[in-house]
């Protein structure tokens, strides 16, 4: 898990104010440090730990902070470290499983600039951007957009079009993707290795937040039925979709799917990629639906029906302060 205390960004990749047509230092004041703790018995503690650190971005003058959701999932304490040196408590407002966005409300006056939303759909390859971290220029990266394409994550996660930037921010979680006019274009989620061998950041586009923001604010999540979740961690290995792990007490584990199984079909239809696998699972119905999965185990094809679940029901409810 990235930590805001891991050290400064290399001077060679820090942004310089003269290279941008907006007040860079003012924009970076909107990025805050975020630290959260989770109970030891939290469902996500085994995979994400009980102490998480990263960044968030002030998006409303009321103290509303946008971050990446894994930093705050099941948090019982959240502390926000502001650009002026203050530390104030925060509380989880909402989290969206589909996009990975999370919202935190500061429990005290923030009195710092906000970052207005930009249009992430208009981002083009080669655009110069800043990956803003808490702590100003010394903890930020002058980057450019190197990709816009589909992304699938082993935890049953798909973005139709994620944004990829380089060079990579070393403390990527919750960083602010800032565009040419000082606007917020997305939130940093991952560090990945590109085909060139260099690290890049994967960013969740801000346009995905706009249609669900009111839902997150009013009910803590997007409205409507939840997607079916199986709780199996699948990786694309040598052009095979291999189960690399299982969520403890999750639907796939209960259905006796094993690590090492190769997933070949859902509902009798062959799967072609990781993203295709998850989309076919989601297409079977709402959370709770039976999902027929075909796996190869020891050279034999097995048909296993997994009773799906709503992932949110496995998580501890955020404690309101």
**For residue 6, pLDDT beyond 80:** no
Quote the DSSP letter at residue 222. -
Residues whose CB is less than 8 angstroms from the CB of residue 234 and which lie 6 or more positions away in sequence, other chains included: 154, 241, 242, 243, 244, 263, 274, 277
To the nearest whole percent, how much of the chain has pLDDT over 70?
Answer: 97
User: How many Å apart are CA 266 and CA 278, to the nearest integer?
Assistant: 9
Domains of the chain: 19-114+211-219 (2.40.10.10), 120-208 (2.40.10.10), 232-314 (2.30.42.10)
Q: What is the pTM of this model?
A: 0.94
The answer to whether 232 and 243 are in contact (CB under 8 A) is: yes
The stretch 123-140 carries a mean pLDDT of 97
pLDDT at residue 1 is higher than 90: no
Residue 260: pLDDT above 50?
yes
Q: How far apart are CA 213 and CA 258, in angstroms?
A: 38
Give the residue-averaged pLDDT of 101-125.
Answer: 97
Measured from the Cβ of residue 301, the count of other Cβ atoms closer than 10 Å reads 11
List, for residues 15-46, the tens digit of each pLDDT value: 999 999 999 999 999 999 999 999 999 999 99
Contact between 135 and 170 under an 8 Å Cβ cutoff? The reply is no
């Amino acid at each position: 898990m990235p930590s805001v205390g891991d050290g400064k960004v290399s001077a060679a990749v820090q942004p310089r104010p003269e290279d941008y047509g907006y007040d860079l230092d003012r924009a970076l004041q909107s990025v805050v440090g975020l630290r959260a703790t989770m109970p030891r018995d939290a469902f996500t503690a085994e995979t994400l730990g009980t102490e998480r650190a990263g960044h968030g971005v002030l998006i409303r003058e009321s103290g509303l902070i946008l971050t990446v959701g894994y930093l705050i999932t099941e948090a019982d304490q959240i502390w926000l470290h502001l650009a002026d040196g203050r530390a104030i408590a925060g509380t989880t407002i909402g989290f969206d499983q589909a996009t990975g966005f999370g919202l935190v409300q500061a429990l005290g006056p923030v009195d710092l600039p906000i970052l207005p939303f930009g249009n992430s759909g208009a981002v083009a390859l080669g655009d110069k951007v800043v990956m803003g971290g808490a702590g100003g220029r010394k903890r930020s990266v002058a980057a450019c957009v190197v990709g816009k394409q589909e992304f699938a994550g082993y935890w049953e996660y798909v973005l139709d079009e994620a944004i990829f930037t380089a060079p990579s921010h070393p403390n990527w979680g919750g960083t602010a993707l800032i565009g040419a006019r000082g606007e917020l274009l997305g939130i940093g989620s991952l560090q990945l290795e590109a085909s060139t061998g260099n690290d890049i950041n994967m960013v969740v586009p801000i346009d995905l937040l706009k249609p669900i923001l009111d839902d997150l604010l009013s009910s803590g999540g997007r409205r409507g039925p939840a997607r079916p979740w199986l709780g199996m961690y699948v990786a694309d290995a040598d052009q095979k979709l291999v189960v690399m792990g299982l969520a403890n007490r999750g639907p796939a584990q209960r259905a006796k799917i094993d690590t090492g199984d190769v997933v070949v079909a859902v509902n009798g239809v062959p799967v072609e990629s990781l993203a295709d696998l998850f989309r076919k699972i989601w297409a079977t119905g709402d959370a709770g639906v039976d999902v027929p999965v075909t796996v190869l185990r020891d050279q034999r094809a097995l048909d296993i029906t997994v009773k799906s679940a709503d992932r949110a029901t496995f998580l501890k409810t955020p404690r309101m302060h």
